[in-house]
Amino acid sequence: MKLFQLFFLITALLALALAGSVEKKSFIVMFPEGTPNSIIEDAKKAIVDAGGLITHTFALFRGFAAEAPLAALETVRTLSTNYQPIIEEDQPVSINAA
């Protein structure tokens, strides 16, 4: 019985270690005007459920910024055929050409 408990503990610790090592990237997700709030909320939930984090919700357009694994973004792309999001990697913006 103790051997089984030790095996279970090691397996659980390994799973936690691997879950923390998934590479996350910062993205901006933008939806077209008229997209229902439910679709945007479903997209946010999919990202959080995949271990991502919503870092900002925009007021000027329908969208949000997130840090998420790439697999979560593929899920967001497939949530709606009528309201396809535009997903771009979040990058610094400058007014200088340098």
Counting the structural domains of the chain, the total is 1
Task: Indicate whether 17 pLDDT > 70.
Answer: no
Does residue 82 sit in helix, strand or coil? coil
Confirm whether 9 is domain-assigned: no
pLDDT given at position 93: 82
Confirm whether 14 is domain-assigned: no
Task: Indicate whether 8 pLDDT > 60.
Answer: no
* pLDDT (tens digit per residue) in 25-46: 899 999 999 999 999 999 999 9
- The DSSP 8-state label assigned to residue 78 in this structure reads T
CATH code for position 68: 3.30.70.80
* pLDDT (tens digit per residue) in 54-77: 999 999 999 999 999 988 888 899
pLDDT given at position 46: 93
CA gap 1, 62 in Å, rounded: 54
pLDDT given at position 5: 61
